[in-house]
Structure formats: structure tokens, C-alpha cells
Amino acid sequence: MLDDVEAVVLVGGKGTRLRPLTLSAPKPMLPTAGVPFLAHLLSRIRAAGVRRVVLGTSYLASTFEEHFGDGESLGLELTYVVEEAPLGTGGGIANVAEHLTSENVMVFNGDVLCGTDLGAVVNTHRHTDADVTLHLVRVQDPRAYGCVPTDDDGRVLAFLEKTEDPPTDQINAGCYVFKRSVLEEIPRGRVVSVERETFPGLLERGARVSGHVDNAYWRDMGTPGDLVHGSADLVRGVAPSAALPGPVGESIVLEGADVAKDAFVFGGTAVGRDVVVGEGAKVEGSMLFDGAVIAAGAIVESSVIGAGARIEAGAHVRDAVIGDRAVVGAHCELKGGMRIWPDVQLPPHGIRFSADV
Ligand code: GDD
Ligand code: MG
């Protein structure tokens, strides 16, 4: 149990890859499998035995505190520290240093969905007497991440953030254990990137930086595709969480939702409060935020439908993000990464890929 370890969760980024969804909510508060995304991460931190968590925020900071309060409902003691202007990942960590007391501190990127055994990461840190230990995973395309080669002893050899020519498919999973004394060396009061400045600097001066590699479930929720697939994995129980509001299965349907008897809602779809799904509609592997309406006969696949948005009869939406309150008119067809900004209204037949109907 990690009851002698404190945690820091970084939730400061604007999440620009998820606009238009993040215009009104910070990315970690987007409803994911029925609860704000951050609840899943916090529940896993708590399940590992950690009690004290400091949230380092900068963007729409008050929304976190309004929802999670002092953390008691999660069994946590939550402290909020707000950056006046975003200080970057390293600056965000340094900015909360004065609130930490434990000898070792876990730090989490707040947008990662992960099934790793956190106790095992801390064990690696202790056994190797590391200054910092990084959780590492292997991915198909490492270019969007921090590439982290290690030697046979698990010692980190380099940290290459978002490089076009990564030497290995092993990447930084966004979960670290810091000796607090090392964390306290990060400069305060200015922008610091832990990936581009702190880790390369530690390696240069010969600090012991360990890698803990495993093949647990892992996904960065930064892109709409990852958000929607990660949410479906949570709903279906593929990604572990102690914060689901219902049993795992083909869908999670929150109270007040009205799903027609002959509608098909499956593939890990999360149906928010007061959503309406009409007759014969088909919704697969999607996120329907509170108050969204999927009219009769509409098809929604692997898409995020914002709060109060309407997908009118016979429309077909695939791999798209529909902003809050937007309207996709009857028989429109949207696909392949399209994003509709909040409040935009597409008229019936307004946009199609196939012949007229
Ligand atoms: N407090 C604070 N202040 N947090 C921040 C700031 C800031 O200025 N900037 C970013 N963050 C938080 C984000 O909210 C997110 O939770 C985390 O730091 C990482 O930022 P992202 O913007 O999501 O980075 P990324 O996904 O491109 O890359 C990072 O994560 C990858 C794994 O998911 C890097 O750490 C990569 O090395 C890593 O592979
Ligand atoms: Mg990220």
C-alpha cells in the first residue's frame, strides 16, 4: 500500500487537440463513461493506497474544486494549486512542491487512462534507489510521445520528447516517482518542461533515472479518437476503473436518459443524463453528453456528441466531434475527424458524402 506516498496530478493543459469540446470544460472534466475523466484516475490512485493528492491546475481551475471538493467522497485529501499562467509540466510540479511532505512523490499526467500497478512502479523506484522513476509503455507510433530508451538494468539512457525518428517504441507513460529532494530542485516561478528540461538535465548530470516497463492498459486521452475509444474501453471494462457509475457492459446509461426500445446502443457507449435516443437510431462506441438528442433513424459511430447537441433524423455521424448545442440537420453525413463547433447549426442535407436522398 502506498500510504506513505503523496501524488501530484497535472491538469493544467488546455487540451487544444480536443477543441471544440474543451471550450467550456477543462479536458480532465469531460464526462467519460459517466463521470469526469479525472475521477477514473483519482480512483485508481486511491485504490493503490495513496491518500493525499495535489492537483496542479491552470485552466478553468475552479471547476475541479466545484466537483471534487476536499476529495472526501473519493476517500482522498485533495489540495488545489492554481498557476496564474500555465507553467508547463515541470513548472506545474515545482509550483506544488511546498505542499508535499512524503519522501517519494508520484506525479501523473492528468489525461492518461492506465491500468498499471502503481505499487509496482514505486517498488522499482525503491529497489533501484532512483532519483526519478518513469513508467514506460510500448506503443505502435512513438512519435507523439516522449521516447525513452533504457539499458538492460532498466536505467533510462535518454529522454527524447516528440521526436520524428524515435530509436525505440518505448515511451513515457506520464507517471513518475520523484524523490522529493529531486522534485524540489525544479526551478520555480517560470515555465519548465519536465520532458524537455528536467529529465534531460538529470540524465546529463548522471542522476539515477529508472524505467518501469509493463504492458498494462494505457492510453493518452489527448485526441478525440483516443477519448472516444478510451471511454468505450471504460464502459466495457477493458480499461479498469473504480469510478464507473454502473456495471460494465455495452453501454452505461445515466438517469433521466430516454432510449427508445428498438434503438441500438452498444460498443461501450456512454449515455449522459437526459439524453434522448429515438426509434431505430444506432449508436456505437460513442459519448453522448448530457441532454444530447439522437433522433429516430440517426446513426452515430465512434463520435462525441456534446451537451444539448442534436443529431436529426437519418443523419450519419462517424469519427466526429459535435460541440455543445450544435445541430446536425436531418440526413447530413459527417465523418473522418470532422469537428462541429458549439452552437453551429447544419441544415437538413447540409453536408453529405454520398448521393442525395
Ligand atoms: N499544471 C499544469 N500546467 N499542467 C500542465 C501544463 C501546465 O502548464 N501543461 C500541460 N499540463 C498537463 C496536461 O494537462 C496533461 O495532463 C499533462 O500535463 C501532459 O500534457 P499534454 O499536453 O497532454 O502532453 P502530451 O500528451 O503531448 O505529452 C505528454 O504525455 C505523454 C504521455 O501521455 C508528455 O509527458 C510525453 O512525454 C508523454 O509520452
Ligand atoms: Mg496528453
**Structural contact between residues 331 and 295, judged by C-beta atoms closer than 8 angstroms:** no
CA distance 94 to 9: 12
Same domain, 78 and 116: yes
Same domain, 206 and 122: yes
Question: 28 and 91: one domain?
Answer: yes
- Return the percentage of the chain with pLDDT > 90, whole number: 91
- pLDDT of amino acid 146: 98
The whole domain housing 339 covers: 250-346
Helix (H) or strand (E) holding 158: none
With vertex at residue 77, the alpha carbon angle to CA 73 and CA 78, rounded to the nearest 5 degrees, is: 95
pLDDT over 80 at 13, yes or no: no
Q: Tell me: do 12 and 109 sit in the same domain.
A: yes
Do 276 and 154 fall within a single domain?
no
Tell me: do 212 and 283 sit in the same domain.
Answer: no
Q: What are phi and psi of 177, to 5 degrees?
A: -115, 125
* Residue where a domain stops, chosen among 209, 224, 239: 224
User: Are 220 and 328 contained in the same domain?
Assistant: no
**DSSP β-bridge partners for residue 311:** 294, 328
Under 8 Å between Cβ of 288 and 271: yes
Cell numbers placing 147: 521516447
13 CB within 6 A, ligand 1: yes
The answer to whether residue 326 is domain-embedded is yes
Q: Is residue 351 part of a domain?
A: no
48: CB partners within 8 A, 6+ apart: 1, 2, 117, 118, 119
The single-letter DSSP state of residue 150 is: B
Nearest-angstrom CA–CA distance, 295 and 313: 5
Q: Do 92 and 180 share a domain, yes or no?
A: yes
pLDDT at 357: 66
Whichever domain contains 311, its CATH number is 2.160.10.10
The answer to whether the CB of 26 is under 6 A from ligand 1 is no
* Whether 297 and 197 share a structural domain: no
Other beta carbons less than 10 A from residue 3's beta carbon:
10
- Is 242 inside a domain boundary? no
Q: Read off the pLDDT band of 149 (50, 70, 90).
A: very high
pLDDT in tens, 109-145: 999 999 999 999 999 999 999 999 999 999 999 999 9
The SS3 of residue 18 is helix
When pLDDT is averaged across residues 34-61 and rounded to a whole number, the result is 94
Establish if 244 belongs to a structural domain: no
For residue 169, give the C-alpha cell.
Answer: 517504441
Beta bridge partners of 317: 300, 334
Same-domain check for residues 76 and 188: yes
d(CA 45, CA 9): 10
Q: Is the peptide bond before 224 cis (omega within 30 degrees of 0)?
A: no
Predicted model pTM: 0.96
Does the C-beta of 220 come closer than 6 Å to ligand 1?
yes
Is the Cβ–Cβ distance between 12 and 26 less than 8 Å? no
**Whether residues 23 and 104 fall in one domain:** yes
Residues 157-176 pLDDT 10s: 999 999 999 999 999 999 99
C-alpha cell at 44: 485508481
Residue 233 forms part of a structural domain: no
195 lines ligand 1 (CB under 6 A): yes
Quick check: 39 pLDDT over 80? yes
236 domain residue, yes or no: no
Domain count, the chain: 2
120 Cα distance to chain centroid: 22
From 224, 242, 261, the end of a domain falls on: 224
Q: From ligand 1's centre to the CA of 180, what distance in Å? A: 20
Return the CATH number at 143: 3.90.550.10
Pocket test for ligand 1, best of 8, 10, 38 (most atoms within 8 A of CB): 10
Output the CA torsion sign for 284, 299, 112, 65: negative
In whole angstroms, give the CA distance from residue 159 to residue 152.
Answer: 16
Cβ–ligand 1 contact at 145 (below 6 Å): yes
Neighbours of 51 (CB within 10 A): 17
Both 180 and 274 in a single domain?
Answer: no
Q: Distance of CA 357 to CAs 298, 315, 350, 351, Å?
A: 14, 11, 12, 12
* Centre of ligand 1 from the C-alpha of residue 93, in Å: 11
Q: Is 263 helix (H, G, I), strand (E, B) or coil?
A: coil
- Atom nearest to 112 CA in ligand 1: 33
Distance 302 CA to ligand 1 centre (A): 24
Query: Percent of the chain, pLDDT > 70?
Result: 99
Give the number of the ligand closest to the Cα of residue 173.
1
Asked if residue 354 is part of any domain, the answer here is no
